[in-house]
Amino acid sequence: MKTNERTGILTGVKVLDLTRMLSGPYCTMMLADHGAEVIKIESETGDSSRANGPFRTDDPQKEWAGYFVSLNRSKKSVQLNLKTETGKKHFRKLVEHADVVVENFRPGVMERLDLSYEELKAINPRLVYGAIRGFGDPRLGESPYVKWPSYDVVAQAMGGIMGITGATPDSPTKIGPGVGDIFTGLMMSFGIIAALRSADFTGEGQFIDISMYDAVLSLCERTVYQHDYDGTIPGPEGNGHPLLAPFGIFPALDGHVAIGIVDDIFWSELSKCMGLNKTGEDKKYSSRAARKESSKTINKLVADWTKLKTKNELTKILGGKIPFGPVNTIKDILDDEHVNIRKMIATVPHSDPSKKDWRVAANPIKFSLNPTPEYKTPPKIGEHDKNYLQKAKVETANFEKTKSLREAFGNFATGVTIITTNDKNGSPRGFTANSFTSVSLEPPLLLVCIAKTAFSAATFQKSKLFAINILSENQRELSGLFASQEKDKFKLANWSVGPKNLPIFEESIAHFICERQRLVDAGDHIILIGKVQEHAVFDGTPLGYFKGNYFSVNHDQALIEAANTGEMVDIGGVLSKDNKILLQEATHQKFIIPKAPTEDKSKNGLYGLLENLNLTPRLNFIYAIYRDTDTKNHTIFYNGTVEGAAPDGFKFFKLEDIPLNNILLPAERSMLERYKREFKHGTFGFYEGTERAGTVREISQTENNYEIKGV
């Protein structure tokens, strides 16, 4: 592999490309050009642009259409029939390890294939899903035209660009390139990069919706503010400008040239070049506003001068002095020194080494540290089936190994800390970290890690001092705040200036003031090793973190006691999805909260039950622990979420529609009433007591206990 093939700035990003024609393939071309691994998912007949032409004379079989070659360089191709269960199975496997899915079908197509965003998100929560539609996706605004098919010409017409292009209102003109497709695809590539950056920080992907109509409308932004300001309806201006003169296309002996005069100094310079010094100084023309009023006279004056000279002569006279350029044909462009120096015509290797390579327009984005990789041959249909359809099995094994390792790491409870420092301007900066490691007692050294993608990573690498704040069980909300992308974290936190002027949090159970000793590059993280300068310890209970969830020693004590006494324990989950609660039908029209099966009354047992029903649960924190005064059994309920469709015997209820009178067990009925109240206020509590009465502790704010009857 050549060195620069590894330098693409998007190297490591995997994209599943379901798009065809222009808008979607242009988007994924932008990503592939800069190193992303783009895998075209094609049917047996392939992307329809393969047959669009033009074809070279050395391609009698018509395998390589110029349209396809230009848009699909450097991509891979996997052939899948997504209408079959086998094809869907393979696609879902690929989704497990993908970063991005892009499609440009009409709304509803992926849903009918059982491959909707929601279903794919359940497989891979970090997935970024881009949908290009003619009129957008109903998820983010249902257009009255949602079912209309659309191509570039429709987008240009409805988005307003044709209404301001052309010579007269009677001759609306389409812009030559497919700008409705290309600009939409370009905007989607930006959306994908933005969503990937968000996923790096939050761990959660999202759905991106771009309408071709919307994209073209945004391109015509002047028409919106002009109509708002003066009530006019902008129309075609030909090649001119409604506010500027001379401005537009002017004749030459052998073609045309473009001249655009905005500033008065350029008008003065143009007048000198034309030998009309007095005209340039004339008050009738010397200001932009004056030239606007005399635009027809000025444009004719310039045209009468330019038409007597060749493009080359005009270039020598005007080039570099005023905004000027010749109207180029593709032949002119290929001969232009600028294009050659800027490497804007690139070659794509032919699949047959004995044949001439293809020439295409290069990607215009240039990075100082990440040169654009050399383009690779576009794929034949299904050329990479063996690589990816077999690789999916191997990657699944590797994924399971990685998952197992992650779970092993997570089997050890850790404390939760916030690491703080000050930036060069003295502003406080901080991030949440799971615990820290003591490296040495003499000298006293501590170690913490920060992700390279964190907003404050650069600040911590430069700071000479930092503080480690050990959080108490009352600071769950604070931990979440500093793990978020909230910009003004410290404005929302209770903190003070501590030793060495470092930020210290009230209610923390300890803090260590450290002087940075060493930085260590560790994969996707940076390790900070600091020497302890000062420290303090206070009374309190530490906040813990275990397998993706917070816990406190006090709140989970009942669990420990129940396990130690060997008493019977039931495990259940209050599981929500989009403001709905999942309930299980116990008898006819009577419901209970889902619980782990009798043969495996454990948290894993509850996970197993739900996963076997094709649901994807997540148990976030313990919501209630109570002891039945009659049976002496303990019941433990988790608060969590679930993805997937309700299986037989289960049903989702909107919060306001929960049939409380039909909840079989009074304790569960009481708990669901509490859940509805707490959900409304956005603050959940932890219940401990019996099935009749107990105490609720708020766990998303500073602790505030209160007594209630029932769970």
Q: Where are the beta strands (DSSP E) in 523-592?
A: 525-537, 543-546, 549-552, 569-577, 580-587, 590-592
CA distance 459 to 465: 11
Do 377 and 351 touch, CB atoms closer than 8 A?
A: yes
Does residue 54 have a cis peptide bond before it, meaning omega lies within 30 degrees of 0? Answer: yes
Joined together, the tokens standing for residue 678 give 């707490």
Q: Biggest alpha carbon distance in the chain?
A: 107
> Among 477, 459, 460, 485, which residue's Cα sits nearest to residue 198?
485
Beta bridge partners of 430: 420
Given 3-state DSSP classes, what are the helix, strand and coil percentages for the chain, each rounded to the nearest 5?
35, 25, 40
Which DSSP letter does residue 501 get?
A: G
Residues 273, 276, 282: CA angle, nearest 5 degrees: 125
CA distance 90 to 47: 19
Radius of gyration from C-alpha coordinates of the chain: 33
Which DSSP letter does residue 378 get?
A: P
Residues 68, 70, 71: CA angle, nearest 5 degrees: 70
Between strands 76-79 and 37-42, the pairing is parallel
Among this protein's residues, is 181 annotated catalytic? yes
Q: 190: how many CB neighbours lie within 10 A of its CB?
A: 13
Joined together, the tokens standing for residue 571 give 């495990």
> Among 529, 388, 517, 383, which residue's Cα sits nearest to residue 450?
529
CA distance 623 to 620: 9
Q: Which of 99, 181, 209, 214 is catalytic?
A: 181
| Residues with Cβ within 8 Å of residue 110, at least 6 apart in sequence | 103, 116, 117
Encoded amino acid at 279, one letter? T
Distance of CA 347 to the CA centre of its chain: 31
Query: Would you please indicate which residues are annotated as catalytic (active-site) residues?
Result: 181
